[in-house]
Structure 1
């Protein structure tokens, strides 16, 4: 058992603390604020509950009865429309209540909570960390083998790499009549808007804008500039007798990636490690993902020090891949608006985030799919890469190919490299799938073969004359 100290009890901190306790470690969690407290990020993407089920933290959230997101009103270049999701549902939550429930679940799993408490000094004393915390006017010392920083964007390390242009979110909460019952997202001329109806019948409106441009808008106060922008949008359309509950506030919403996110005795989680572009509306999901993978990384660092290099490489690569993937997604979303709007806000975000996609592969006639001889691409390499296996990080054989964003170990829960390393050339996709029958059903084998063909990993095999058969 190791002594683990976690700083910050947001979704990342509470989830990480709970998982480390489940893995048998003694965990102390330090949170500076009393709960519940108001927090942005009230619209949760569908993947959040899937992750919480994996951590056995879902029941306490389900018991809250937070309403599901039935749809989102979208006003983007293709016109206003209702985007409905009849499958997986996101949630509209009171973040104060949501975070409190996660913290209570961590406490029930054996995590010792210090709240409200402020971390003072953090000193590496020999083989251990020594922390000073201030709570209720008194100071005390905590010793730990490992420290996890989940204190959020505000306390993130200064060693950061910006992953997009500077952005600020200016937001305010409203009460009134006929408030929207579904989230709304809208592209403005020089900003974009996000409106979220909350379970307590209030309504949160947010404007995402360049901070320098916002400071030079007409209006002597933040409230005047904020209200001026809201009036340009349709977020309050149809609302009656509305009023702001409190003065609007602003927070940094610039995406970034921490350059020093993990070391043998410490790790950064959630926004302390990485922040993605807010247009994805999946910041809470990414924070919980970092906590779950971070717990396996920390468990490896503590219990298998011989795998330290693999664990550190895995966590850094995972955050880098996630940051780049979200940058590409955001770029295409911004580009939709930039195509018809010449404002610097949209041009800058589409240009700075965009990356080139590889040229499309020639299509294979579906009728010949079962009869075309295939072989491995000459660009394919087998490499050893760190990956999660059980409760630890270890090295495994992976596929490396120009059309893969990162080395790939698993597909559909199955290791790919062992299947392909023994694959004889010249087999048809059907024969390839049949050769895997000892490992999976034929249908699954055909799906994997098709996926490999789509990405140019399996390619048409030339005959002996050098021509394609």
Structure 2
């Protein structure tokens, strides 16, 4: 017997599960195939402050309130020259350190409670495209089963992005890591640059402290892992008291990339199957889950409209934005490391890496290059707070003038869980194109401003469509941003 689903997800990491929960909430039938039994060990325990709002959005915020998770740890940063700086939790946001094996298993149970059909442990023994859907043969201890899906989300992590299909966005590095007893280090996260690269450390659950060094792969060609770790620790002010000998070292290659064909024939990639960020920001899981939510909206739009055009363009635009904005931040932070003249491979390769040399092999990679080359304008600043009632009295009989610098552009907007293309305001005082203020679509309001219209008549017209408190907020924002004058 064949079981039919609208969406089949491969991989039960946070990216795949975030998409699954949203798609189930939007009324779709979803199956998930996971090869490994849970709980499974997993690195990536340090979660950025932006992760909690995502869990809250999924109504799963209580999954982060576990007795074993570590909250509100300060961070000591020695990035470049000068004395190390101590940042308290209030200065760096409410991040946390979790047990990923425990968190991933609980998130999976949460998704199955929402109606997810789970095949685990199971693997895909065969797949075929049937013209309008995929058919899979699933192999598990229970025997073979057949399922179909109109859309596939590949959430297998790096296994879903073979090296030949990756657009490399930065020089590769290698990570070496080990655990020491928590008492061996202060109860705080530590980040430091050294000649060979940089070091990160933090308390992790179960009374341990994780130390992770990042260096160039060439550094391991002439030295052992222990020798490399010893040399990097010896050059450190924050980790220098630790001894590399006797540590159980693990290693992995670290690459920053985006998949060159992330959406092919109703087969979409999310998480590290779609892109991988530099670990410097500790935002990899947040970015993966956030993009999965956007991918879920794209899938819902395609299934609702029965047309992939807008959905695919939205998905690719959000993916290109994610990697480009992260690259700008990472490049700037590495530039602040004070290693601009260092002759060690890690820093030299980052200094010499040229984004313009990245090949554009198709429309998507050309879009990525375009976003990488774009530098967002610096807005003049947040619009000044305006006392709105005196302003309205002052402007009431005066004609509305739109700024000569105001322009409009087509932009994606998510309305009712569907992607649509809407007109957006573009202005030097806006950090990005603007469609909505407090969920109120602004361009239609500006369309009512004919020649000679006064502020009083404009306000009366707007009040027929939106409540007066919202009219006051919109007018205050537009006046403060000098969009209306």
Q: Do residues 277 (structure 1) and 278 (structure 2) align?
A: yes
For the 8 Å contact 1:165–1:352, the answer to whether it is kept is no
Q: Report which stretch shifted further, 405-414 or 161-170.
A: 405-414
- Alignment size in residue pairs: 449
**Given the superposition, is the C-alpha separation of residues 374 and 145 from structure 1 closer, same or farther in structure 2, using an over 3 Å criterion?**
same
Q: Secondary structure at the match of 2:157?
A: coil
Distance 2:456 2:381 in 1: 18
Please give the residue correspondences for 1:170-189 in structure 2 after superposition, counting only pairs within 5 Å.
170-175=176-181, 177-189=183-195
Q: 1:99-156: CA deviations, max 9, x gaps?
A: 1111111111111222222223331023220123332394433221221101112321
Query: What are the superposed Cα offsets for residues 354-406 of structure 1, whole Å, 9 maximum, x if unpaired?
Result: 96757767899989997999955555432333321122222222234678786
1:60 to 2:63 alignment = yes
TM-score, structure 2 length as denominator?
0.80
Show CA shifts across 1:211-246 (max 9, x none): 23x233x52x333323332333245355699953x3
Counterpart in the other structure of 2:318: 318
Q: Does residue 292 of the first structure (1) align with residue 293 of the second (2)?
A: yes
1:223 maps onto 2:216 in alignment: no
Match of 1:330 in 2: 330
For 1:48 and 1:267, locate their aligned partners in 2 and report how far apart those are by CA, in whole Å. 23
Q: Is 1:197 aligned with 2:206?
A: no
Report the alpha carbon displacement of residue 13 of structure 1 after superposing the two structures with TM: 0.9
Partner of 2:126: 121
TM-score (norm 1): 0.83
Equivalent residue, structure 2, for 1:48: 51
Is the 8 Å Cα contact of residues 376 and 425 (structure 1) preserved in structure 2?
Answer: no
What residue in structure 2 maps to residue 82 of structure 1? 86
- Determine the C-alpha separation between the residues in 1 that align with 2:429 and 2:383: 21
Does the 8 Å contact 2:196/2:232 carry over to 1? no
Q: Contact 2:177–2:250 (CA<8 Å) still a contact in 1? A: yes
Any unmatched runs of 5+ in structure 1? Answer: 462-469
* Aligned match of 1:98: 103
Moved more, 115-124 or 432-441: 432-441
Greater Cα offset, 51-60 or 313-322: 51-60
Shift of 1:181: 1.7
**Aligned equivalents of 2:377 and 2:423: distance in 1?**
27
Q: Aligned to 2:158, what secondary structure does the other structure show?
A: coil
TM alignment of 1:334-373, pairs within 5 A: 334-338=334-338, 341-343=341-343, 345-346=346-347, 348-349=349-350, 352=354, 357=375
Unaligned runs of 5+ in 2: 356-371
- Could you tell me how far apart the structure 2 residues matched to 1:4 and 1:421 are? 40
TM-aligned CA deviation for residue 422 of structure 1: 4.1
State the partner residue of 1:140. Answer: 145
Q: Compare 230-239 and 193-202 and name the one that shifted more.
A: 230-239
Contact 2:5 2:148 in 1 (8 A): no
1:38–1:242 Cα change, 3 Å: farther
Counterparts of 1:152-163 in structure 2, within 5 Å, are 152-156=157-161, 158-163=164-169
Tell me: CA distance 1:240–1:261, structure 2 relative to 1, closer, same or farther (3 Å): closer
Kept in 2: contact 1:314–1:387 (CA 8 A): no
Q: 1:240 to 1:260 in 2, by over 3 A?
A: closer
Q: For structure 1, which segment, 139-148 or 193-202, has the greater mean C-alpha deviation from structure 2 after superposition?
A: 139-148
Residues 258 and 415 of structure 1: CA distance in aligned 2, closer, same or farther (over 3 Å): farther
The structure-2 alpha-carbon separation of the partners of 1:285 and 1:367, relative to structure 1 and needing over 3 Å to count, comes to closer
Whole-Å Cα distance in 1 between the matches of residues 273 and 433 of structure 2?
Answer: 26
Q: Could you tell me how far 1:417 is from its partner in structure 2?
A: 2.5
| Higher alpha-carbon deviation: 133-142 or 270-279 | 133-142
Change (3 A) 1:15 1:409: same
Q: Deviations over 1:4-31 (max 9, x none)?
A: 2111111001111122222222221111
Aligned to 2:117: 112
